[in-house]
Amino acid sequence: MNRIITISREFGSGGREIGRRLAEKMGIAYYDQEIITELMKRTDFAEEYVRHMEETAPIPLLPITTAHTFGSPTNYVVEQNLKFYMQESKVIRDFAEKSDCVIVGRCADYTLREMNPVRIFIYADMESKIARCRSKNSDVDALDDRELRQKIISVDKKRARYYKFYVEQVWGDKANYDLCINTSRFPEVKTIIPGLEQLVTGFGH
């Protein structure tokens, strides 16, 4: 079975960079935006639609798995979200079956649970996330600190709601991960990579 590493991360914590650098260090595949590209190839979804679906999740009257199990979806929107999730999950599973890899976000830790992935959650305090966003993301240049703080809170709430909606687990709960890493004390996350590679390699497989 392939070695699979999933990265869940708070906005501004450096999780995406850690995933990319870890994949490079280990010489294995890295999947993030590549999942969107492949999903667009397999479906008639536009990129804007895919990004919208990944960033939002409706609040159904019943948990999505309950509605699906009993064959009574709460509404059309829920059905469309379930359809999207199943198609994206198929892409993720296909990538994971091809080779060793790092996969960022998209509930991959749950989707690939039967493949025994190393599940990592990356987080940081608010001040560190603001500073990292300022240094890495020019899209936030027009925002003052208060506005950026609200953006970070908003994105993380959406990620938590997305995770809860599809897998009925709590995003960021340490019980759902093998490693939780606080990057607040590491302004340059690349310094984490050598030690993280050793930890990941040491996991039973």
Domains contained in the chain, CATH given: 4-187 (3.40.50.300)
Non-local (6+) Cβ contacts of 120 within 8 A are 5, 6, 7, 8, 18, 177, 178, 179, 180, 181
With a cut of 60, say whether residue 41 has pLDDT above it.
yes
pTM over 0.75: yes
Under DSSP, the state recorded for 141 is T
Q: Are 88 and 106 in contact (CB under 8 A)?
A: yes
The sheet that has 4-9: what strands, in order across it? 29-31, 101-104, 4-9, 118-123, 179-182
Residue 92's SS3 state is helix
Q: What is the DSSP string of 151-190?
A: HHHHHHHHHHHHHHHHH-S-TT-GGG-SEEEEGGG-SSGG
Cβ–Cβ < 8 Å for 93, 111: yes
Q: Can you give the pLDDT at residue 59?
A: 58
> pLDDT for 150-201, tens place per residue?
999 999 999 999 899 888 899 999 999 999 999 999 989 999 999 999 999 9
Sign of the alpha-carbon dihedral angle for 174, 3, 125, 10: negative
